[in-house]
Amino acid sequence: MKLATTVNRVHVEIDLPGVTERAFAGVGRALERLLADQEIKNRDAITEAFLSILRECPEANPSDLWHHVVYRLYCEILPRHRHQDPKQSWVRASGEALEQIVEAIYAPVLRSHGIDIKALISRDQKRTVLGAMGLGAEVGDSKLDVGLYVNAKGKEKIIGGVHVKASLAERVSDDVPASRAMMRKGLLSPLWTLDVKSFPPPHGDLVNRGELGSPEAPSEKRKYIEEHGDFDNCYSANTRSLPSAARTRSGKRIYTLELARQPDRFATDVITFADRRKGSEIR
């Protein structure tokens, strides 16, 4: 479908391949219902809406579903039901929603391999997990979004955590010290992102191209991965993100995901890491 919108007094039609008029209307109705229920948290409404349209439109770019469908409808619908500024509300609620979405997408496939993935919503949850990693005194207690665990001898054991970002403009550099500390301890520390970025008219066309640049013309965000190795790879759910070449300076790479097809590269890499950890402990 093509989404018509007006930005800065300029009429724009945004092409959304894989999105149907029916699915777009359906997620609008879902958000209307969810936000009308005052018992439902904003983050939970966003989570349910995104997962719903991801199932309905498996061929669509997940980053576009977030950026051009759920976000735009949320900002339009929220003021009808809640006395909140929609853009400020989105900033507060969407980060936690995305952490919940990552858990919901990957929990079924990882659980079948004895791995648990859990969104760390509260500051206390983050603090507890970082403490279990032995990093409580070394890094801030808000620098981890999702925990990864295996069952070892009847006990849940932390094997790493995921840094989750809708946009790489969300100060990825703030997560680097925690990520490097995790990797030094042999813990898995990937970056998972929707790599959302578009530019409005008059200078842009609202196409959601992301911020990673290309292997030939890398952005500073790409260099965090390919040159500096600040994370255990970067997994982008923006299908326009350009993946890394087979070899990089750091050995870490950027991969592009198709969320509707599981297990994707993120899931298989987590499974491989967990199997390797379990094997080394048995030996």
Instruction: Spell out the alpha helix ranges (H) of the chain.
Output: 21-36, 42-56, 62-64, 71-77, 86-111, 123-132, 176-184, 220-226, 265-282
Range 39-65 average pLDDT: 98
**Within 10 Å of residue 214's Cβ, how many Cβ atoms?**
13
Using pLDDT thresholds of 50, 70 and 90, give the confidence band for residue 283: very low
Q: Is the dihedral of CA 263, 265, 266, 268 positive or negative?
A: positive
* pTM listed for this prediction: 0.96
Q: What percent of the chain has pLDDT over 90?
A: 85
d(CA 267, CA 110): 7
pLDDT tens profile 186-220: 999 999 999 999 999 988 999 999 999 999 999 99
Residue 119 has pLDDT above 70, yes or no: yes
The per-residue pLDDT for 142 is: 66
User: Strand 2-7 relative to strand 10-15: parallel, antiparallel, unpaired?
Assistant: antiparallel
